[in-house]
Structure 1
Amino acid sequence: MSVHSPYAELLARMPIERHEIVILGSTTRYWVYGPVDAALTIVIAHGYRGEHHGLEPVIAQLPSIRWIGPDMPGFGESTPLTEVPHSIDGFAKWLTAFVDALGLTGTAVTLGHSFGTIISSKAVADGLKTPALILVNPISTSGLEGPSKTATKLTVAFYRLAGLLPDRVGEFLLKRWIVVQFMSSVLAKTKDRELRRWIHYQHHTYFNNFASRDSVVEAFEASVASDVSTYSDGITVPTLLVAAELDDITPVQAHRDLVESMTDARLELLMGVGHLIHYEVPGLAAAAIHSFLVEQGLFGDLPPEATTVQSNIESGAEPSAP
Structure 2
Amino acid sequence: MTALNPYARLLDEIPVDRREATVLGGVTAYWVYGPADADTTIIAVHGFRGEHHGLEPVVAHLPGARIISPDLPGFGETPPVPGRAHDLNLYAQWLAEFSRAAAPGAVILGHSFGSIVVAAAVAGGMEAPRVILVNPIGAPALEGPRGLLTRLAVFYYWAGARLPRRLGEALLRNGLIVRVMSESMAKTKDPGIRRFVHDQHDTYFSRFADRDVLHDAFVASVSHDVREYAPRIAQPTLLVAAQRDDITPIEAERRLARMFPAAELVEIPDVGHLIHYETPAAAAGAITRFLAPSDDGTR
Under a length normalisation based on structure 2, what TM-score does the superposition of the two structures give? 0.97
- How many pairs are equivalent? 297
Question: What is aligned with 2:104?
Answer: 105
Query: 2:49: which partner in 1?
Result: 49
Deviations 1:27-79 (A, max 9, x none): 11100000011111000110001000001011011111000000110000000
Matched, 1:143 2:134: no
Cα drift, residue 138 of structure 1 = 0.3
How do 1:199-238 residues align onto structure 2 when only pairs under 5 Å count? 199-238=197-236
For residues 262-293 of structure 1, the C-alpha deviation after alignment (integer angstroms, 9 at most, x for no partner) is 10001101011000001101000000111111
Partner residue, 2:239 = 241
Stretch of structure 1 that moved more, 80-89 or 37-46: 80-89
Aligned equivalents of 1:47, 1:165: Cα separation in 2: 25
Partner of 1:15: 15
CA distance in 2, matches of 1:85, 1:13: 39
SS in 2 for 1:95: helix
| Higher mean displacement: 229-238 or 120-129 | 229-238
Residues in 2 aligned to 1:82 and 1:25: alpha-carbon distance in whole angstroms: 7
Map 1:168-187 → 2, pairs under 5 A: 168-187=166-185
Letter in 2 for 1:105: P
Q: Which residue of 2 aligns with 1:40?
A: 40
Change (3 A) 1:298 1:199: farther
Partner of 1:253: 251
Letter in 2 for 1:35: P
User: Is the partner of 2:288 in helix, strand or coil?
Assistant: helix
Kindly indicate whether residue 91 of structure 2 is the aligned counterpart of residue 91 of structure 1. yes
Structure 1 residues 233, 244: CA separation in 2 closer, same or farther (over 3 Å shift)?
same
In 2, are the aligned partners of 1:24 and 1:84 still within 8 Å (CA)? no
Give the 3-state SS of the residue equivalent to 1:269 in structure 2.
strand
Distance 1:133 1:85 in 2: 26
Query: What's the C-alpha RMSD, in Å, of the aligned pairs?
Result: 1.2
Amino acid at match of 1:270: I
Residue 298 (structure 1) shift: 6.1
State the one-letter code of the partner of 1:40. Answer: T
After the TM superposition, which residues 106-145 of structure 1 pair with which residues of structure 2 at under 5 Å, given as runs?
A: 106=105, 108-145=106-143
Query: Using the alignment, how far apart are the partners of 1:285 and 1:9 within structure 2?
Result: 18
Q: Kindly tell me: are residues 41 and 298 of structure 1, through their superposed partners in 2, closer, same or farther at Cα, counting changes over 3 Å?
A: farther
Q: CA deviation at 1:105?
A: 2.3
> In the alignment, residue 133 of structure 1 is paired with which amino acid?
V
Asked whether the 8 Å contact 2:49–2:207 carries over to 1, the reply is: yes
- Decide whether the 8 Å contact of 2:138 with 2:226 is kept in 1: yes
TM-score when scaled to structure 1?
Answer: 0.90
The whole-number CA distance in structure 2 between the counterparts of 1:195 and 1:285 is 16
Q: Which runs of 4+ in 1 moved over 2 A?
A: 295-299
Whether contact under 8 Å (1:28, 1:70) holds in the other structure is yes
Q: Is the 8 A contact 1:24 1:83 kept in 2?
A: no
**Structure 1 gaps, min length 5:** 300-322
Greater Cα shift, 248-257 or 287-296: 287-296
Q: Secondary structure at the match of 1:140?
A: coil
Residue 295 (structure 1) shift = 5.8
Change (3 A) 1:2 1:126: same
Contact 1:180 1:203 in 2 (8 A): yes
Give yes or no for the alignment of 1:28 onto 2:46. Answer: no
Q: After the TM superposition, which of the residue ranges 289-298 and 147-156 deviates more from structure 2?
A: 289-298
> 2:36 is paired with a residue of what secondary structure?
coil
* Distance of 1:250 and 1:26 partners within structure 2: 33
What displacement does 1:84 show?
A: 3.6
For residues 298 and 82 of structure 1, the distance between their equivalents in structure 2, rounded to whole angstroms, comes to 41
CA deviation after TM superposition for structure 1 residue 25, in Å: 2.9
Gapped runs of 5+ residues in structure 2?
A: none
**Deviation readout 1:194-240 (Å, 9 max, x if unpaired):** 11111100100000001111111111011111000011121110000
Q: 1:130-164: per-residue Cα shift (whole Å, max 9, x none)? A: 01000000000110111111111111111111111
Local SS of the residue matching 2:68: strand
Partner of 1:261: helix, strand, or coil? coil
Partner of residue 278, structure 1: 276
SS of equivalent to 2:49: coil
Identity score, percent: 51
SS at match of 1:267: strand
- CA deviation profile, 1:106-149 (whole Å, cap 9, x unmatched): 2x000000000000000000001101000000000110111111
Asked if the contact 2:4–2:192 (Cα under 8 Å) also holds between the matched residues in 1, the reply is no
Partner of 1:198: 196
**Corresponding residue for residue 77 of structure 1:** 77
